[in-house]
C-alpha cells in the first residue's frame, strides 16, 4: 500500500516541477509525468501500487501496458527511495 | 563621510583603537587591525564607502592581527577574529588583506540568513540586473571586472544577496577578487584601475582586489530586480557558446551555488522559486572577452535575446 506522508511545496515550470520536501529538507527536480503520479497517490492515499499502475496504463495496448507497468513501478520505487511516497505493509 | 576623506594616519588610528566602521551595503562592519597593510589597502579599495560614527549599530566585529607569540616575528602569521574568536587557521602575514576579505565573506555567509546567498556576481546596466552564479575558477570575477570597466554597475562579485521578503537583489559592491592572469588582463584593459596589493602564494594563487567603480558604491541603495541568470564558464578552447537552460535545471544548479539554501529550507525554496520564475537562464561559455562583453550588452535588449538564444 502506498501512502503520501510528505508535506511538500511545489513550483511548476514548463517541463518539470521542483518539489521541496519539508520532512527531508530535500529539493527534487521531477518530470511532469512523475508529478502526475505523485498527485494521484497524494489524492488517493492510501492506495495499492497496482491501482496506480491501472490508472496510468488504462487505454494502452497490451504491449504498451507491459512497458508502462515497468516504468510506473520504477517511478514508484524512486519516489519511495526519495521518501516522497511511503510503502507500507497491510495486514 | 567617505573613507577617502580620512587621512591614512586617522584610518590607522581607528583600526588600532575603536575600530574603523564601514557601511558595506546592508552591513555595518567594525574592522580592527594593527597592520599597516590593512589600513593602506582599505584606503585604496574602499575609498568611496561611508565611514560610520562610533554609535552606529554594528553587524560584524572583525579583526586581523598578528598573534602574541613567536609567530609575530618568525615566519609571521595573521589571524582573523570575529567577535574576538578566530574561526580559521592563521595565514602568512603577507596574506593579511585577503584574509580580511575572506573573513568578511565568511561572516556574511554564516550569519545573514535574511538573504538567500548565492556564490554569484551581480551586475546591472540600464535597469537590467544579471546574476552570474559560478564555481570558483569559472572566470566569474574576471568577467565581472570586465563588465564593470564597460559601464556595468557592480552589485556584488562574490555573493548575491537575495532578500527573502521581496526577492530584490541587495547591492554590496565590495572589491572584485581577481586571481592569477586575470589581474594582468584587467590591468591591461584599464591602466587606471585601482587594485589592492598583489599577494602571491595564497590557496587560490596570486590574489588582488579591484576597487569597485564609484558609481557602484554611490548606488548601494538601489536594489536590483533580476532579469537573467547566466552560468558563465571560461574555456580557453571554446568559441562563445550561449545555451538556454531549462528553469528547473537552473533551479537545481543554483542550489549547488548557494551558501545557505539548506539552512533556509522552505524560505529558500520560495525565494528561489520566485527568482527563477521571473528570469531567463543561460549557460555561457567564452574565451574571447570582447565577445563576452558584447553578449552581455545584447542581454539588455529583450528582443535580441529572444531571437538569438532561445
Write the pLDDT tens digit of every residue in A57-69.
998 898 899 999 9
Using a CB-CB cut-off of 8 Å, the residues of chain B touching A18 are 248, 251-252, 269, 273
pLDDT in tens, B255-279: 999 999 999 999 999 999 999 999 9
Mean pLDDT of chain B: 94
The residue in chain A having the minimum alpha-carbon distance to the alpha carbon of residue B256 is: A27
**Confidence tier at B309 by pLDDT (50, 70, 90):** low
A59–chain B Cβ distance below 8 A for any pair: no
pLDDT in tens, B136-178: 888 999 999 999 999 999 999 999 999 999 999 999 999 999 9
Using a CB-CB cut-off of 8 Å, the residues of chain A touching B261 are 27
- The mean pLDDT value for B239-243 works out to 94
The residue in chain B having the minimum alpha-carbon distance to the alpha carbon of residue A32 is: B248
Whether pLDDT at A16 is above 70: yes
Distance CA B256, CA B243 (A): 19
Using a CB-CB cut-off of 8 Å, the residues of chain B touching A24 are none
User: Looking at B15-19, B60-64, B166-170, B236-240, which range is the least confident one?
Assistant: B236-240
CB contact under 8 A, B251 and A15: no
| Better-predicted residue by pLDDT, A90 or B116 | B116
- Of the candidates B262, B276, B277, the beta carbon closest to that of A25 is on B262
Distance CA B140, CA B131 (A): 10
Question: Quick one: pLDDT at residue B68?
Answer: 82
- Of the candidates B246, B273, B276, the beta carbon closest to that of A15 is on B246
Whether pLDDT at A38 is above 80: yes
The residue in chain A having the minimum alpha-carbon distance to the alpha carbon of residue B276 is: A13
Whether pLDDT at B211 is above 90: yes
Question: Quick one: pLDDT at residue B217?
Answer: 98
pTM greater than 0.90 (yes/no): yes
B13–chain A Cβ distance below 8 A for any pair: no
- Pull the grid cell for residue B220: 548601494
- The mean pLDDT value for B111-132 works out to 97
Distance CA B115, CA B305 (A): 29
**pLDDT > 90 fraction of chain B, expressed in percent and rounded:** 89
Distance from CA of A12 to the nearest CA of B (A): 8
Mean pLDDT of chain A: 93
The residue in chain A having the minimum alpha-carbon distance to the alpha carbon of residue B269 is: A20
- Of the candidates A9, A13, A25, the beta carbon closest to that of B248 is on A13
- Of the candidates A14, A18, A20, the beta carbon closest to that of B266 is on A20
3-state secondary structure chain B: CEHHHCCHHHHHHHHHCCCEEEEECCEEEEEEECCHHHHHHHHHHCCCCEECCCCCCCCEEEEEECCCCHHHCCCCEEEEEECCECCCCCEEHHHHHHHHHHHHHHHHHHHCCCEEEEEEEEEEECCEEEEEECCCCCCHHHHHHHHHCCCCEEEECCEEEEECCCCCEECCCCCEEEECHHHHHHHHHCCCCCECCCEEEECCEEEEEECCCHHHHHCCCCCECEEEEEEEEECCCCCCEEEECCHHHHHHHHHHCECCHHHHCHHHHHHHHHHHHCCEEEEEEECCHHHHHHHHHHHCCHHHHHHHHC
Whether pLDDT at B308 is above 60: no
A27–chain B Cβ distance below 8 A for any pair: yes
A22–chain B Cβ distance below 8 A for any pair: yes
Using a CB-CB cut-off of 8 Å, the residues of chain A touching B246 are 13-16
Distance CA A50, CA A34 (A): 16
Question: Quick one: pLDDT at residue B62?
Answer: 98
B249–chain A Cβ distance below 8 A for any pair: yes
pLDDT in tens, B27-60: 999 999 999 999 999 999 999 999 999 999 999 9
Amino acid at each position: 500500500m502506498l501512502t503520501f506522508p510528505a508535506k511538500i511545496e511545489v513550483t511548476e515550470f514548463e517541463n518539470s516541477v521542483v518539489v521541496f520536501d519539508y520532512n527531508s529538507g530535500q529539493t527534487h527536480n521531477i518530470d511532469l509525468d512523475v508529478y502526475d503520479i505523485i498527485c494521484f497517490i497524494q489524492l488517493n492515499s492510501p492506495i495499492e501500487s497496482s491501482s496506480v499502475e491501472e490508472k496510468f496504463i488504462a487505454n494502452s495496448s497490451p504491449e504498451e501496458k507491459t512497458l508502462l507497468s515497468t516504468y510506473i513501478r520504477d517511478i514508484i520505487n524512486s519516489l519511495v527511495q526519495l521518501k516522497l511516497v511511503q510503502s507500507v505493509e497491510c495486514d | 563621510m567617505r573613507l577617502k576623506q580620512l587621512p591614512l594616519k586617522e584610518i590607522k588610528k581607528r583600526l588600532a583603537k575603536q575600530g574603523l566602521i564601514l557601511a558595506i551595503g546592508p552591513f555595518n562592519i567594525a574592522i580592527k587591525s594593527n597592520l599597516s597593510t590593512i589600513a593602506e589597502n582599505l584606503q585604496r579599495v574602499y575609498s568611496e564607502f561611508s565611514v560610520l560614527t562610533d554609535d552606529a549599530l554594528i553587524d560584524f566585529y572583525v579583526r586581523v592581527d598578528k598573534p602574541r607569540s613567536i609567530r609575530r616575528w618568525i615566519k609571521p602569521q595573521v589571524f582573523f577574529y570575529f567577535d574576538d574568536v578566530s574561526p580559521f587557521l592563521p595565514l602568512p602575514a603577507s596574506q593579511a588583506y585577503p584574509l580580511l576579505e575572506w573573513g568578511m565573506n565568511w561572516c556574511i555567509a554564516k550569519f545573514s540568513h535574511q538573504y538567500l546567498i548565492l556564490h554569484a556576481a551581480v551586475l546591472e546596466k540600464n535597469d537590467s540586473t544579471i546574476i552570474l552564479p559560478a564555481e570558483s575558477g569559472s572566470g566569474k570575477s574576471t568577467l565581472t571586472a570586465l563588465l564593470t570597466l564597460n559601464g556595468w554597475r557592480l552589485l556584488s562579485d562574490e555573493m548575491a544577496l537575495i532578500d527573502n521578503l521581496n526577492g530584490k537583489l541587495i547591492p554590496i559592491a565590495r572589491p572584485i577578487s581577481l586571481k592569477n592572469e586575470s589581474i594582468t588582463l584587467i590591468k591591461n584593459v584599464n591602466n587606471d584601475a585601482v587594485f589592492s596589493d598583489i599577494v602571491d602564494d595564497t590557496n587560490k594563487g596570486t590574489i588582488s582586489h579591484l576597487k569597485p567603480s564609484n558609481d557602484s558604491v554611490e548606488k548601494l541603495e538601489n536594489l536590483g530586480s533580476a532579469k537573467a541568470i547566466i552560468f558563465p564558464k571560461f574555456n580557453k578552447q571554446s568559441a562563445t557558446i550561449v545555451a538556454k537552460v531549462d528553469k528547473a535545471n537552473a533551479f537545481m544548479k543554483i542550489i549547488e551555488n548557494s551558501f545557505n539554501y539548506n539552512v533556509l529550507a522552505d524560505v529558500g525554496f520560495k525565494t528561489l522559486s520566485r527568482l527563477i520564475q521571473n528570469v531567463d537562464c543561460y549557460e555561457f561559455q567564452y574565451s574571447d572577452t570582447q565577445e563576452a562583453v558584447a553578449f552581455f550588452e545584447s542581454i539588455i535588449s529583450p528582443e535580441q535575446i529572444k531571437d538569438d538564444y532561445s
